[in-house]
Structure 1
Amino acid sequence: MTTWVLLRGLMRESRHWGDFPARFQQAAGAGRVLCLDFPGNGQLHAEHSLSSVDAMADYCHQQLQAQGVSEPVQILAVSLGAMVALAWANRYPEDLQRMVLINTSVAPHNPFYHRLRPANYPALIATMLFGSRSQREQLILRITSNLHTEEQSKDIVARWTAYAQKNPISVGNILRQLLAAMRFRAPPYSGKVPLLLLAGEHDRLVNVTCSRRLARQWHCSLHLHPTAGHDLPLDDATWVIQQVLAWQADFSSPPVL
Structure 2
Amino acid sequence: MSTWILLRGLMRESRHWGDFPERFQQAVGAERVLCLDFPGNGQLHAEHSLTTVAAMAEHCHRQLQVRGVTEPVHVLAVSLGAMVALAWADLYPNDMHRMVLINTSVAPHNPFYLRLRPANYPALITTMLFGSSEQRERLILRITSTLQTTQQAKEIVTRWTTYAQEKPIVVGNILRQLLAAMRFRAPPYSGKVPLLLLAGEHDRLVNAACSRKLAGLWDSPLHSHPTAGHDLPLDDADWVIEQVLSWQVNANFAPALQSENQ
TM over 0.5: yes
Q: Deviation digits for residues 135-192 of structure 1, max 9, x if unmatched? A: 0000000000003421111000000000000000000000000000000000000000
The gaps in structure 1 that reach 5 residues or longer are none
Structure 2 residue 130 is matched with structure 1 residue 130: yes
| Residue correspondence of structure 1 range 163-242 to structure 2 within 5 A | 163-242=163-242
Aligned to 1:118: 118
Q: Give the Cα–Cα distance (whole angstroms) in 2 for the partners of residues 144 and 155 of structure 1.
A: 16
Aligned pair count reads 257
Identity in percent: 77
Q: Give the Cα–Cα distance (whole angstroms) in 1 for the partners of residues 207 and 108 of structure 2.
A: 15
| Residue correspondence of structure 1 range 133-152 to structure 2 within 5 A | 133-152=133-152
Aligned to 1:35: 35
Aligned to 1:251: 251
Q: Deviation digits for residues 95-151 of structure 1, max 9, x if unmatched? A: 000000000000000000000000000000000000000000000000000034211
Q: Give the Cα–Cα distance (whole angstroms) in 1 for the partners of residues 223 and 81 of structure 2.
A: 18
8 Å contact 1:197–1:215 — kept in the other structure?
Answer: yes
Q: Give the Cα–Cα distance (whole angstroms) in 2 for the partners of residues 6 and 16 of structure 1.
A: 11
Structure 1 length-normalised TM? 0.99
Q: Give the Cα–Cα distance (whole angstroms) in 2 for the partners of residues 54 and 22 of structure 1.
A: 29
Aligned-CA RMSD value? 0.7
* Aligned AA (1:255): L
TM superposition shift of 1:57: 0.2
Q: Give the Cα–Cα distance (whole angstroms) in 1 for the partners of residues 148 and 85 of structure 2.
A: 28
* Aligned AA (1:179): L
Q: Give the Cα–Cα distance (whole angstroms) in 1 for the partners of residues 252 and 49 of structure 2.
A: 39
Aligned to 2:60: 60
TM superposition shift of 1:252: 1.8
Q: Give the Cα–Cα distance (whole angstroms) in 2 for the partners of residues 201 and 87 of structure 1.
A: 25
Q: Give the Cα–Cα distance (whole angstroms) in 1 for the partners of residues 145 and 171 of structure 2.
A: 23
8 Å contact 2:147–2:153 — kept in the other structure?
Answer: no
Structure 2 length-normalised TM? 0.97
* Aligned AA (2:213): R
